[in-house]
Structure 1
């Protein structure tokens, strides 16, 4: 019985496309920033070919780090990130506070260090 099941399924397995390298190369589609207050910023990012929600979260963090440096400040604190995926397009809506000094809290980032790591990984910033 098991062999018959494999014979029935085998023709369908041959019809699935073989993944190409392009499927594993992230396509970063841009960042929108919204200043909510002097030190509170929302980042909306989108990308395709993410392997998980963590990829788009990393993209948002890189955007926050780049923006923080553009403002002439050195640190950010992550407040929240909402991630969604629809038809292969991943989006994230992330909110960070930015500051010239290390803020209180556990989800802080050193913008210079994070921006350098993003550049090494090929993840764009703002």
Structure 2
């Protein structure tokens, strides 16, 4: 992750429950340096949502990022679970939420 770009503006996030443990996150921001900034925002939102649902872990399924007119949009899908799921793209929600707070990236 890392510090967000100077002057970044987070325009909000939407959450769509696709299945009991499969969630779609739509995020928008201005001032991103590239896809990695949008992906970091989506991860922060996903981590907070995971905790709100009472789970501790999430696994990234996919993220699509595009930019149009200076607005960056991310469309990410995560699975959420109480135990560490298999796979290489897993996150510990508590750790990620804490890091997002330290880095100044919103989680909602």
Matched residue, 1:10 = none
Q: Which runs of 4+ in 1 moved over 4 A?
A: none
The SS at the match of 2:39 is helix
Q: Which has the larger strand fraction?
A: 2
Aligned to 2:104: 122
Bigger Rg, which one: 1
Q: Could you say what the CA RMSD is over the residues aligned between the two structures, in angstroms?
A: 1.0
Q: Which runs of structure 2 are paired with 1:71-90 in the superposition (5 Å)?
A: 71-90=53-72
1:52 positional shift: 1.1
Equivalent of 1:40 in 13, 16, 22: 22
Structure number with the bigger relative contact order (C-alpha 8 A, sep ≥ 6) is 2
1:66-125 per-residue CA deviation (whole Å, 9 max, x = no partner) reads: 000000100000000000000100000000000000000000000000000000011111
Match of 1:19? none
| TM-score between the two structures when normalised by the length of structure 1 | 0.81
State the alpha-carbon separation in 2 of the partners of residues 28 and 122 from structure 1: 11
Structure 2: unaligned runs, 5 residues or longer: none
What's the TM-score once normalised by structure 2's chain length?
0.94
| Structure 1, gaps ≥5 residues long | 1-22
Equivalent residue pairs, number: 104
